[in-house]
Structure 1
Amino acid sequence: MATSTMRVAAGVLLVVSALATLARAEDPYLFFEWKVTYGTRSLLGVPQKVILINGEFPGPRINCSSNNNIVVNVFNQLDHPLLFTWNGMQHRKNSWMDGMPGTQCPIAPNTNFTYKWQPKDQIGSFFYFPVNGPLHVIPNVITAEFRTFIEIVFENPEKSIDSLHLDGYAFFGVGMGPGTWSPEMRKTYNLLDTVSRHTIQVYPRSWTAIMLTFDNAGMWSVRSNVWERYYLGEQFYISVISPARSLRDEYNMPDNALRCGKVVGLPLPPSYAPAR
C-alpha cells in the first residue's frame, strides 16, 4: 500500500486538565475500546483511503485529568501490523506502553492489545497516531545511566528543516545556530529561562542543542518527525538503565506484553519486586 495514498487518524488532540480531587487510594480509570479499520473520506474534496478509529477520522478525543489511568483496548482490523504512540506523554517508568517498534511488538492483524498508561503530572494538549505498515526496529541504541544529566547536539546538513522528537521526556532547548556546532557555542546557550518541550526544530545547515536529565528509566525513541527522514532511518533509541533495578524507577514488563522475533517463547525479565 503506497503511503502517499494513505491517511491515518493522526493529529488528534489528547487534552489533559488538572482538576482538584479528594484524596483516594487510586486515581480514576477511563476505559476505551477502539476498532481500527479502513475507510474512505474526502479530504479537500478528493476521496482517499484512510484509517478509522471506531469509524472516526480523525480519531476520538480523549478528555482526561492529570494522573488518570487510561486503558485503551485496540482491535486491529487492518491487514497489517499496528501500534499507537502518544506524542508528548512521558509514560513515567513505563516505556512498555510507548508504542514504538523498539519498545513494543506490533499488534498483528485481527488481534487486540490493551494499552494502560497515565498522563503523570502532565497538563496540556497532545496527540496520538498509529504507526502502521511493515515495522522494522532501527538497531542503533545508546545507553545512559539513570539520572545522568546530558547534552545532545543535533546537526542538520540538509537544505530542508528537520524536527526531532524525544519520547519519555521533556527537555530544554538551550541553543541553536548556523553551520557546524563547536564547544565554543556553549557560550551562547540560554541557561536561564529556556522552555521545556519534547520536540524541537533543526534549521537547514544548522545545529540545535538540548539538555535534560535522564530521570525516566526505559527504552526511548529519538526520531525525526519528518516522515521521509524517519522512513529512511533517522531514528535511534536511548536505553536508560537504573542500577537499583527497583519498581521505584521502572515498572515490570507487563504480563500482556506482545512478543515477536527472537523473544517469542522466552520468559518475562526478572521482576523488580522483592523476593518473598
Structure 2
Amino acid sequence: MGLGAMGKTVLLHLLVSMFLGFWSLSLVKADDPYLYYTWTVTYGTASPLGVPQQVILINGQFPGPKLDVVTNNNIVLNLFNKLDQPFLLTWNGIKQRKNSWQDGLMGTNCPIPPNSNFTYKFQPKDQIGGYTYFPSTLMHKAAGGFGALNVYARPRIPVPYPLPAGDFTLLIGDWYKTSHKALQQYLDSGRTLPFPDGVLINGQTQSSFSGDQGKTYMFRISNVGLSNSLNFKIQGHTLKLVEVEGSNTIQNTYDSLDVHVGQSVSVLVMLDQPPKDYYIVASTRFTKQVLTATSVLHYTNSKTSVSGPVPVDATYRLHWSMQQARTFRWNLTSNAARPNPQGSYHYGKITTTRTIVLSNSAPVINGKQRYAVNRVSYINADTPLKLADYFNIPGVFSLDSIQGVPSGGPAYIATSVMPASLHDFIEVVFQNNENTMQSWHLDGYDFWVVGYGSGQWTQASRKGYNLVDALTRHTAQVYPNSWTTILVSLDNQGMWNLRSAIWERQYLGQQFYLRVYNPIQNLANEYGIPTNALLCGKAVGRHP
C-alpha cells in the first residue's frame, strides 16, 4: 500500500527531525573531548606499613594513576588484566547516565579474565567534584587498585570560590598487612576480619604537601579504606568545606572532618600560620584502638620540622559526628556542573511515590558469618544481572527476591533485585539496629540526605527532615542504633547496585540491585549494550 500525500509529509518531517537530532547530537559530541587511556593491572611488592607485601598496581603505580578530567569529557579507558584472577574497576560516584553497562560491578559486567582486556567508555555527564575508582571484584580493594578521579568544572562555568593556588588529592583509608587472598579466606571460612594494622595517606604512612605562606590550597580527601570512618585534620589550620561528592556546599569551617568509608570531601585551607611544618592527620573514628597516619603540610619558607604529639580527636563522639553531618548544606545559589543554581530543583516539594525501609543485620547462615538487607544476604549469580535482563534469560534473578520493608524470620541467601519505575521519586530509610557504624552507597545516582536520627525511624521522624538545602551525595553514613533517610529521583534507567561501602559487609551479602525500568525501550532512556561487552555465564554465545 503506497503513502498518500499526508503520509509523505509526515515521513518527510520525521526524516528532517531525525537528521536535526543526529546533527545536534554531533554538535554536542564535538564540545565534549575524548580522553584515551591504557591501563595495565599487575601485582607488585610494596611496604606501605613497613612490611613487604603483595599489592595491586595500575601502570606500576600504588595507588593507581590519578584521573583529572573536565565535566562531560568522554573517557575511553582500555584496561588490561595481568592478575591471576578476574578483575573489574568501578567508578565510585560517577553517575553513568543511562549506561549501567559501564558500572564495573559483578551485577552489570562480566569480570575481565586474566590476560585479557576490556575498554570502558563513560562520561561524567554534568558532574564536578572529587571521586574515586577501585576494584569491585573479590577482596582486591584490600590490595590496592584504587585511585582518584577528579572532575573539574568547564572553564565557562564559575566555581563559588577563588581559584586555589594548588590542588592536592589525599586518599585515606585503613590497611592490612595481610594479603587480600588471605583476607578473603578469612571471610569465606565464616570469620570476620580482624582489626586493621594501620592507616595510609596516598598509600603511605608519611608524605608531604608544600605550599606558600598566605596562599589557599584545595585538599580533596576520599576515604578509600575497607571498614573504618576516619577523622581528618590539619594541625593549626581550619578546613573550609566547599564541595562534597559533586555538590557545592555552604562554606562552613571546621577544625576536623569525619569522612566515612566511600565518602569524599573537598576543603580549602589557607596557609595563614607561622612558617613551619604542620601535621596532617587521619585517624580512626569510633574504635577502641586508634590508628593514625600522618603527612606533613610544609610551608615553603619553613625552617622548622614537625614536632610534638600528633593531634588526634577523641574517638567516641557519635553525637558530635551526627551534629557535624547535619551542618553539611547545599549551596542553593551556587551552580555546580551547570550554570543554573543548585537550589532551582526544589526536591522538598516533590511528593514521594514510595518509601523503602532497609534494615541491615549480621546473621549466621549455614554456620558462617553473613550480612543481610531485609533478611536477604546477596550472592552473585554466574550471569551478570544486566545481561540476564537484556537477553531475557530466566532463572538468574527474581523481582520479588527482596522486600521493601523489614520483616521477621530467618535470613537467607539470594540474588536479590528490587524493582523500581523510571521517574519515581522515592524515600529510602536506612535503619541500623546494630551497634556498628554503617555506610551505604548507591551506584548511578546522587541523593538528598534529608535526615539523621537515633533509635527507630517512624513516620513522625519526617518532621525533622531538611527539605530545603540538604546535601546531595552518593554515600551516606548511618550511626549505630540510628537511621538515615535519603530522597532519590529515579531518573537513570538501569541495573544499579545499592551496597554497604564497608567492603567486608558488601562481600558477605549486604547489598542488592535496584532495577530502574521503563517497559518502553528507548535510547533516550538507556543506551544499548556495548559492542565490546564481555559475555559470560548463560549469556555466552549471545550477540550484543
Corresponding residue of 2:453: 177
- Matched ranges for 1:12-23 at <5 A: none
Q: 1:35 to 1:225 in 2, by over 3 A?
A: same
**2:417 maps to which of 135, 141, 154:** 141
Displacement of 1:160 after TM fit?
1.1
* Structure index of larger Rg: 2
Q: State the Cα RMSD in Å.
A: 1.6
Q: Counterparts of 2:440 and 2:136 in 1: how far apart (Å)?
A: 17
**1:112 maps to which of 110, 113, 117:** 117
Displacement of 1:26 after TM fit?
4.9
- Matched ranges for 1:118-129 at <5 A: 118-129=123-134
Mind listing any 5+ residue stretches in structure 1 that lack a counterpart? Answer: 1-21, 269-276
Q: Counterparts of 2:420 and 2:451 in 1: how far apart (Å)?
A: 22
**Contact 2:380–2:415 (CA under 8 A) maintained in structure 1:** no
Give the secondary-structure state (helix, strand or coil) at the position aligned to 1:86: strand
Q: Deviations over 1:34-91 (max 9, x none)?
A: 1100000111212111000010000001111111110110100000010000001000
Which range moved further: 40-49 or 131-140? 131-140
Displacement of 1:131 after TM fit?
2.0
Within the alignment, does 1:87 sit opposite 2:363 as a pair?
A: no
Give the secondary-structure state (helix, strand or coil) at the position aligned to 2:467: coil
**Contact 2:105–2:137 (CA under 8 A) maintained in structure 1:** no
Give the secondary-structure state (helix, strand or coil) at the position aligned to 1:128: strand
Displacement of 1:24 after TM fit?
6.5
The residue identity in structure 2 corresponding to 1:161 is M
Corresponding residue of 1:98: 103
Corresponding residue of 1:39: 44
Corresponding residue of 1:14: none
Corresponding residue of 1:5: none
Corresponding residue of 1:228: 504
**Contact 1:145–1:243 (CA under 8 A) maintained in structure 2:** no
Corresponding residue of 1:7: none
Q: Counterparts of 1:236 and 1:136 in 2: how far apart (Å)?
A: 10
Corresponding residue of 1:16: none
**Contact 1:143–1:239 (CA under 8 A) maintained in structure 2:** yes
Within the alignment, does 1:201 sit opposite 2:201 as a pair?
A: no
Identity, % of aligned pairs?
A: 57
Q: Which has the higher contact order (CA 8 A, sep 6+)?
A: 1
**Contact 1:80–1:133 (CA under 8 A) maintained in structure 2:** no
Q: Counterparts of 1:24 and 1:262 in 2: how far apart (Å)?
A: 35
The residue identity in structure 2 corresponding to 1:173 is V
Displacement of 1:132 after TM fit?
2.8
**2:57 maps to which of 52, 55, 64:** 52
Q: Counterparts of 1:132 and 1:218 in 2: how far apart (Å)?
A: 20
Displacement of 1:263 after TM fit?
1.2
**Contact 1:66–1:122 (CA under 8 A) maintained in structure 2:** yes
**Contact 1:80–1:132 (CA under 8 A) maintained in structure 2:** no
Corresponding residue of 1:240: 516
Corresponding residue of 1:4: none
Q: Normalising by the residue count of structure 2, what TM-score does the alignment of the two structures yield?
A: 0.44
Displacement of 1:133 after TM fit?
3.3
Q: Counterparts of 2:503 and 2:29 in 1: how far apart (Å)?
A: 43
When you count strand as a share of all residues, which structure comes out higher? 1
Displacement of 1:23 after TM fit?
7.3
The residue identity in structure 1 corresponding to 2:380 is H
Corresponding residue of 1:61: 66
**Contact 2:138–2:507 (CA under 8 A) maintained in structure 1:** no
Corresponding residue of 1:265: 541
Q: Normalising by the residue count of structure 1, what TM-score does the alignment of the two structures yield?
A: 0.86
Give the secondary-structure state (helix, strand or coil) at the position aligned to 1:132: coil
Q: Number of residue pairs matched? A: 247
When you count helix as a share of all residues, which structure comes out higher? 2
Q: Counterparts of 2:39 and 2:85 in 1: how far apart (Å)?
A: 16
Which range moved further: 133-142 or 191-200? 133-142
The residue identity in structure 1 corresponding to 2:427 is E
Displacement of 1:27 after TM fit?
1.4
Q: 1:57 to 1:180 in 2, by over 3 A?
A: same
The residue identity in structure 1 corresponding to 2:47 is S
Q: Counterparts of 2:56 and 2:499 in 1: how far apart (Å)?
A: 23
Within the alignment, does 1:78 sit opposite 2:83 as a pair?
A: yes
**Contact 2:86–2:113 (CA under 8 A) maintained in structure 1:** yes
Q: Counterparts of 1:233 and 1:84 in 2: how far apart (Å)?
A: 19
Give the secondary-structure state (helix, strand or coil) at the position aligned to 2:52: strand
Q: Counterparts of 2:474 and 2:43 in 1: how far apart (Å)?
A: 31
